[in-house]
Amino acid sequence: MESESEYSDSYAPPNITEAANSACENILPNKSRSRYELIYKKFMDWRRDNQINSFSENVLLAYISEISKNLKPPTVWSMYSMLRSTIDIKHNINISKYAKVKAFLKQKSTGYRSKKAKVLTPQQIQTFIKDAPDHRFLFTKVALIFGIAGACRSHELRDLEINNVQDLEKALLVTIPNTKTHTPVHHGLLQLQPVTITFVKSI
């Protein structure tokens, strides 16, 4: 019978190992990869400063406990999630199995209520677009129209260029590249009606 060790990475040819490592580097989401790497680096620096070589459950628990003293529970959960991904990719260690860490995170979240962002009503949006002076708020109005009426994500607004918008006199044809769904482009017609705004997307 073939032993399990015959299937270990130590028996993989160098080119296969290199290809696997390269593929792993691309697993992290492109948009937030730098954030993942920063969180991972902070954890690794903490290990080094405390002369720790292990990724044990107690080590992770101690680190999560320390950072939770100055951070809100949702932020700690987010950092834990990023550490879980990076440690798994870089060290093949699955920290999601650490029950004590999860229990600690859940306990810290008990009773926490996040502050809800204030949301404009449709009437307030219409009033702002109609009555706010253009010399001060024109850019904000454009962002509001594209962001809300066009259901654009923040990075889509950021990446829009002048050549993505075509003036059709009674409407604007908008091309939004690099969407979250990774489709090449999607288009929308922004109908230029007084005050009332309609944005229809079609792929």
Residues in the chain: 203
Residue among 68, 105, 67, 63 nearest 87 (CA): 63
Q: CA 133, CA 29: separation in Å to the nearest integer?
A: 40
Written as tens digits, the pLDDT of the chain (203 aa) is 444 444 445 566 777 766 666 666 667 777 788 999 999 999 999 999 999 999 999 999 999 999 999 999 999 999 999 999 999 999 999 999 999 999 999 999 988 887 777 788 888 888 998 899 999 999 888 888 877 766 777 777 787 788 877 777 777 777 776 655 556 455 555 555 543 444 444 44
Residue among 54, 48, 49, 36 nearest 93 (CA): 54
Please say which residue of 77, 109, 141 terminates a domain. 109
Domain count, the chain: 2
Domain residues for 162? 122-202
**Predicted model pTM:** 0.58
* Strands of the 171-177 sheet, one edge to the other: 165-167, 171-177, 185-192, 197-202
Same-domain pairing of 67 and 142: no
Same-domain pairing of 34 and 97: yes
